[in-house]
Amino acid sequence: MANSKQVRDTSRNRLKDLQIRRAKPDDFPLIDGGGLRLVLKGSGSKAWVYRYRFNGKDREAGLGIYPVIGVEQARRMRDRMEVQRAEGFDPLQVRQQERLQQVEVQQLAKAEAVKQALTLAVACRQYHETKIVPTAKNRKHAAQWVSTLENHVLPKLGTKSVADITKGELLEVVQAVVNATPETGRRVIQRLMVVFDELVFKEVLPTNPVAAVQRQVKAPSRAKIVKHFNSLPWAQVRSFYRDLEASDAIAAKCIQWVILTACRTGEALSVVPDELDLQRGLWVVPAEKMKAKRPHTVYLSTQAIELATRMLALGTPFLFPSRSGMQSSLSNAAMLKTLERLGYRDQTTIHGLRSTFSTWANEHNFRPDVVEVSLAHQEGDRVRKAYNHAVYVEQRLTLMQQWGDFVTTDKVDGEQAEGVHKLVKKA
């Protein structure tokens, strides 16, 4: 009788914990399928290995020691690597890139801690003491320089971290000064400009927001506050989502999908069941549907998976079908009518919900490049762009799950929901 280890078996997920615990040294390697196996090392420890072929070469990736890495977790690691291979990436190179990015994350975290500790008031006074006082013609001039900022800017923005101050906040403050006294407004802009230039030079900030603000300031005769309702403030998205949940309209469910996945309108309208792998929590949008004409993988939160499961139960060709016949896709007009019926037409567009997600993610300290990849935005560096589509798996999963938890629960901002911890552990 042929040795069972020599017979090729393409079945998957064959191993059980009890089988592993009872295995004797001669039983190894234990084959789970799909390239995943458990080997016995010289030290006596048991290690997970994923074998695969890439560009015609056999490759082997270690996944960790059993039982620290359990059977289910090892399978999920293998599944992620299979997705990377399917998208044309070598999982071992992706892992190397992720490790380099972890170092970068640590460096960014240190820089972020410095930025968060530095308020605008401290930055202005430091610049005044180190740059203005030593070079001023007299004390009066030096005192006037800082008093302009203390009287017109710092009462509103002085206690905020320089990293958290937005262009919109700066514009609001500066425009008010310009409207009241144009010459004082000019001085405020000039002094803020040099303070933020210094912060850029010291690599505390990547860019100077005052440069953009200066271009937006309007002369007093024409200045007026214009409020655009093209995207919903993220603080209001929970109540909007609850209103959508209370509606039976398919268009309302499609808008929920846009919120949970941060996808474009056209991508949501054209979702078909074959694009979804709910067991792995993936939605792979084909290249022909993407703006950049390359496939895009969306990591689904548990809320998005639950919504997709409900819609798949309809058994229609499209995940969000038109009510007329149920065989064609929903229309953009139906989504706009739902916005109008729920009273949100003047507050947001469907596409504007992507901006809502982006603002929330950036203000909750997710890495900008992780947010950009999740939005399927393009990046100039071709090599970095290619690998960014394969890496950040854990970060993107965590981002989408925390967003789903924020949108659908009443948890305090910044508190991770239980679902996030479960997904991270499983991954």
Can you tell me whether residue 164 is helix, strand or coil?
coil
**Mean pLDDT, to the nearest integer, of 98-125?**
81
Better-scored residue on pLDDT, 115 or 256: 256
Cα separation of 255 and 382, whole Å?
32
Helices and strands in the chain, H and E counts:
19, 7
Token pair for 372:
């950009």
In this prediction, residue 31 carries a pLDDT of: 94
For the full predicted model, state whether its pTM sits above 0.75: no
Q: Is the pLDDT of residue 339 over 90?
A: yes
**In Å, what is the CA distance from 55 to each residue of 52, 89, 127?**
10, 10, 56
Q: For residue 419, which of 302, 298, 329, 337 has the smallest C-alpha distance? A: 302
Contact 277, 284 (CB under 8 A): yes
Residue type, 123: A
Q: Is the pLDDT of residue 9 over 90?
A: no
Residue 179's pLDDT band (boundaries 50, 70, 90)? confident
Residue 31's DSSP bridge partners are 37
Cα separation of 49 and 78, whole Å?
9
**Mean pLDDT, to the nearest integer, of 324-336?**
89
Residue 23's pLDDT band (boundaries 50, 70, 90)? very high
Q: Is the pLDDT of residue 16 over 60?
A: yes
Better-scored residue on pLDDT, 366 or 344: 344
Cα separation of 271 and 308, whole Å?
10
Residue 323's pLDDT band (boundaries 50, 70, 90)? confident
**Mean pLDDT, to the nearest integer, of 83-91?**
92
| Residue partners of 413: CB distance under 8 A and separation at least 6 | 364, 406
Give the H or E element holding residue 30: strand 30-33
In this prediction, residue 367 carries a pLDDT of: 77
**In Å, what is the CA distance from 321 to each residue of 28, 203, 285, 290?**
51, 50, 17, 20
**Mean pLDDT, to the nearest integer, of 381-390?**
47
**Mean pLDDT, to the nearest integer, of 254-280?**
94
376 burial level (CB within 10 Å; 0-12, 13-18, 19+):
buried
Better-scored residue on pLDDT, 367 or 93: 93
DSSP states of 90-159 as a string? -HHHHHHHHHHHHHHHHHHHHHHHHHHH-BHHHHHHHHIIIIITTT-SSHHHHHHHHHHHHHHTHHHHTT
Lowest model confidence (mean pLDDT) among 90-99, 226-235, 257-266: 226-235
Contact 124, 195 (CB under 8 A): yes
Adjacency order of strands within the sheet including 276-277: 276-277, 282-285, 296-299
Maximum Cα–Cα distance across the chain: 100
Token pair for 146:
């800082």
Which segment, 110-119, 310-319, 406-415, is predicted with the most confidence on average? 310-319
DSSP states of 355-366 as a string? HHHHHHHHHTT-
Omega before 134 cis (within 30°)? Answer: no
Percent helix, strand, coil in the chain, to 5, is 55, 10, 35
Cα separation of 357 and 262, whole Å?
7
Q: How many CB atoms lie within 10 A of CB 115?
A: 16
In this prediction, residue 347 carries a pLDDT of: 87
Token pair for 20:
């592993």
**In Å, what is the CA distance from 192 to each residue of 147, 149, 154, 197, 206?**
13, 8, 11, 8, 16
Count of all residues that appear for the chain in the document: 427
